[in-house]
């Protein structure tokens, strides 16, 4: 099964990001606002029914950290501007890298290691499509938790199921 740890984007930020997806043309597939997140670690083929160590790891790491501010400034493309496949929002918070490293260094199972680049995916390109001009904004929120999420791929796109939310120390357990 596909699992990932992520910080889910709060609804008030989703509501501010969703309108910029209206700039998409052609074969871009927008991410549904309620599925927007920042991936911290991704395990593309984790064994079914063996998530207990991942749940315990999430508990341990969340108890060592306080919530922190995440800043969103504007948009960009992966893998590059010339032939983009993903349109995303840049995120800024050093804690994201720290938590990702804490998780991936303690996961006793192969995870996808493409190098950590904190971002929120807004859309994926499924064929020819024009790029959207850079969108600039200044949004912030205080992250209160992260989650272990199960991803199921379907023809209409992935669906996510939150298996457990891990609140940071200052937001209680």
Tell me the catalytic residues.
37, 119
**How many angstroms separate the CA atoms of 35 and 157, rounded?**
11
Helix (H) or strand (E) holding 6, with range, is: strand 2-8
Q: Which residues contact 99 (CB under 8 A, 6 or more apart)?
A: 40, 61, 65, 146
What is the distance, to the nearest Å, from the Cα of residue 87 to the centroid of all Cα atoms in its chain?
A: 13
Report long-range pairs for 161-168 (Cβ below 8 Å, ≥24 apart). Answer: 162/8, 163/3, 163/51, 163/55, 164/55, 164/58, 166/58, 166/59, 166/61, 166/62, 167/62, 168/62, 168/65, 168/66, 168/67, 168/68, 168/143, 168/144
In degrees rounded to 5, what are phi and psi of residue 27? -95, 35
């Amino acid at each position: 099964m596909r699992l990932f740890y992520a910080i889910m984007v709060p609804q008030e930020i989703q509501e501010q990001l969703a309108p910029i997806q209206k700039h998409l043309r052609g074969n871009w597939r927008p991410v549904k606002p309620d599925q927007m997140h920042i991936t911290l670690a991704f395990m593309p083929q984790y064994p079914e029914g063996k998530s207990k160590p991942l749940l315990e790891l999430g508990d341990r790491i969340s108890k060592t950290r306080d919530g922190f501010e995440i800043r969103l400034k504007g948009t960009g493309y992966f893998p590059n501007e010339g032939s983009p496949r993903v349109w995303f929002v840049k995120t800024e918070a050093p804690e994201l890298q720290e938590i990702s490293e804490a998780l991936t260094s303690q996961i006793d199972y192969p995870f996808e290691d493409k190098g950590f680049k904190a971002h929120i995916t807004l859309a994926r390109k499924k064929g020819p499509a024009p790029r959207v001009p850079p969108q600039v904004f200044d949004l912030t929120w205080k992250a209160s938790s992260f989650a272990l999420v199960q991803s199921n791929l379907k023809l209409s796109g992935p669906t996510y199921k939150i298996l457990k939310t891990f609140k940071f120390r200052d937001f209680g357990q």
